[in-house]
Amino acid sequence: MIKNKDIIIVGLQPWDIEIGSNCKNIAAVMARSNRVLYVNRALDRISAFREKNDPKTIVRKQSIAGQAPDLRNITPNLWTLDPRALLESINWIPFAGLFDRFNRINNRRLADAINDAAARLGFRDPLLFIDNDFFRAFYLPEMLDGISGTIYYIRDNLTSQPYFRRHGVRLEHALMAKATLVAANSSWLASYARRHNPSSFDIGQGCDFSWMENGNGSPNPLLQDSGKPIVGYVGALIASRLDIRLMETLAAKHSEWQFVLVGPEDEAFRQSSLHAMANVLFTGNRPAAELPSWIQSFDVCINPQLVNPMTIGNYPRKIDEYLAFGKPVVATATEAMNMFAPYVYLSRNADEYAAAIGKGLAENDTEMPARRRSFALSHTWENSLAALERALDSVTHKTTENA
């Protein structure tokens, strides 16, 4: 793992988000062997107005005004920074040249705040780690003092989304090209990045399994008397990520199975015909402490992912969570899912899903649950960051040879 370095992490999310955040967990593990400055997302003018009553906005305004400390010490080697910088809201600008001019101004404001904080902490030759933020961090490799290298970390195909598409495609490609290396959490994203920077690597995904310790791992008592095999899903029910039509077809054709969907719904799911089916149970959002008991109750777990430009390259952390319980899993086949093929039933349509669920219910391999658990639990942040260190060493060694 990367050791004895000063690291500046800049990304899209603030520290005080849910513990499941990729970047938050990366920072926590990095800080075991390095000094880490985690830069919270800088406040922009529109957010300052629209979200003025949000506690995060209030804290950032207080930091900008000097009424609250901008640096917070989280652990002995980890600090967060609420930048004393107010950025212009510029994404609406249609002209690339004008956007770039204002984006450079924003980056300069952010860089000044980071340089000041890094100097106070005594950082020397820091490594810059950019988490998917190709707008606010685009010019930072040139603007931050004494940067020893830049890692661009891609874990979502954000440029497929309307908000990021106008300027994001060209900026992300250019940022990849000038980075020391690009680290991706899936093979698809690594292949995408390699078109713009040959030093692009799939470093896998770290997963936080601490939530599994909640509860006693026993089946949920609400499902013990269902009388049917239980096919379950845990997570947000969002139509842009999950295939509602597939789920409706499965539930309609297989009344002999009980489908249990655990998580909050968007409007498309609330309006779906699934709610009219007697063999479909929506539990709504449940406390994290309950989730192990729900998964433990499932006979087969599913991830009916909708394949689109946003989801096609995603690393499926949910699959690791299911496998960590040793459960049979049926999931949509994608390039990112290929690595799971020995442990998961991969399917492309409703017929294949139904056949795979049947196979999962009929399983009699007593050793498979243990193999699933072992595979899932190998996907740690420590292993992911060890892969990152190997990638960084290989790029540094190649650069030295060519010097």
**pLDDT, tens digit (0-9, with 9 covering 90-100), for 268-290:** 999 999 999 999 999 999 988 88
24 and 62 belong to one structural domain: yes
The pLDDT assigned to 215 comes to: 52
Give 311's pLDDT tier (boundaries 50, 70, 90). Answer: confident
196 and 277 belong to one structural domain: no
Question: Is residue 383 domain-resident?
Answer: no
- The Cβ of residue 149 has, within 10 Å, a number of other Cβ atoms equal to 18
108 and 215 belong to one structural domain: no
Give 26's pLDDT tier (boundaries 50, 70, 90). Answer: confident
Backbone angles phi, psi at 199, to 5 degrees: -90, 65
Average pLDDT, the chain: 91
The pLDDT assigned to 219 comes to: 66
189 and 217 belong to one structural domain: no
The pLDDT assigned to 235 comes to: 94
Q: Which domain holds residue 118?
A: 6-206+393-402
Question: Is residue 195 domain-resident?
Answer: yes
185 and 285 belong to one structural domain: no
217 and 196 belong to one structural domain: no
Domain count along the chain: 2
369 and 220 belong to one structural domain: yes
184 and 255 belong to one structural domain: no
24 and 44 belong to one structural domain: yes
Question: Is residue 269 domain-resident?
Answer: yes
Give the mean pLDDT of 210-235.
Answer: 75
Q: Is the pLDDT of residue 20 over 50?
A: no
Question: Is residue 1 domain-resident?
Answer: no
pLDDT one-digit tens code per residue, 316-371: 889 999 999 999 999 999 988 999 999 999 999 999 999 999 999 999 899 999 99
185 and 274 belong to one structural domain: no
Give 147's pLDDT tier (boundaries 50, 70, 90). Answer: very high
Question: pLDDT above 70 covers what percent of the chain?
Answer: 93
CATH assignment of the domain containing 37 = 3.40.50.11010
Is 336:188 a contact under the CB 8 Å cutoff? yes
Q: Within a 13 Å sphere around the CA of 115, how many CA atoms are in the beta-carbon half?
A: 14
pLDDT one-digit tens code per residue, 83-128: 999 999 999 999 999 999 999 999 999 999 999 999 999 999 999 9
Is 107:136 a contact under the CB 8 Å cutoff? yes
Residue at 349: amino acid letter: N
First vs last Cα of the chain: how many Å apart? Answer: 25
199 and 219 belong to one structural domain: no
Question: Is residue 385 domain-resident?
Answer: no
The pLDDT assigned to 18 comes to: 46
Give 402's pLDDT tier (boundaries 50, 70, 90). Answer: low
Tell which residue, 56, 135, 147, has the closest CA to residue 100. Answer: 135
Sign for the CA dihedral angle at 140, 141, 142, 144 comes to positive
215 and 111 belong to one structural domain: no
Question: Is residue 200 domain-resident?
Answer: yes
